[in-house]
Amino acid sequence: MSTHEPIRPPVTIKTLRKMASSGEPFAALTCYDATTAKWLQRAGIHVLLVGDTAAEVVLGYSRTIDMPLDVLVALTAGVKRGAPETVVMADMPFLSYHGSEDEAIRNAGRFLTQGLADIVKLEADESFAPLVQKIARAGIPVCAHVGTRPQQVALTGGYTAAGKTPKQAAQIVADAVALERAGAVMLLIEAVPDQVTEDVLKATTVPVIGIGAGPAPHGQVLVLQDLLGLTDRQPPFAHPIAQLGTSIQTAAQKYVQMVAERQIGSRTPQMGTTSPKLSTEPRPATN
């Protein structure tokens, strides 16, 4: 057995329910490719969210609402292939579930069939309860995203925290309750005061994942690039625990220097390098 493989059984939605009920926190991160997913599974991450943040960190857009549905389905499948023993959650991008209910159900289903996802996430309030009920009735697990909803930034004039007033706080709790009753098997709550999160936890029974919503949720999720120091600006609730951006830059600068000095191309590692032994065999195909 490889020393890289995790020493844990496969994680499923049932696993997350058990962890939540026993008070054992679970860890979630965004992920957008098979190679990274493989390493995150080996690290013990329980949930990988293939988020519409890929529009920004993968495709270079300035807004998450520009995420193409077909691309996100393909990225989701890649993540699941890389981490088959981890719960993979797919974000339903902007306008993929806002039209007809039939179209929304088909798009959600694509994430399970073509995208290999275990669960789909959609930003919702209580008005989406009938849709969640129909998606769930089709056999598609749903995570309902409440609180701050990034796909609504055009209405709010920018990204702002939610639940700051008693009326807003009460509405978020009502949203969470209605969506659970409609069949959501998980909730994600974003950028709300700690007290709002605690009220949601008291009013619901499903696992709750938080992002910028205090320490109380059953699970926590962050954008991987924020955690690893790959973004120029992180939100206040995401503190980098590594600085891979500068490490990548340093390695690439070294590579530029080695190319300029004609040190690249030899089958013998150059003095002072720690290159692994090179093989003359072609790289094998992988599943």
Residues with catalytic function: 190
Phi-psi region of 62 (alpha: psi -120 to 50; beta: other; left: phi over 0): alpha
Q: Judge contact between 210 and 192, C-beta under 8 A.
A: no
| Cα–Cα distance for residue pair 273/275, rounded to 1 Å | 6
CA distance 223 to 235: 10
CA 241 to chain centre: 18
Dist CA 8 CA 54 (whole Å):
28
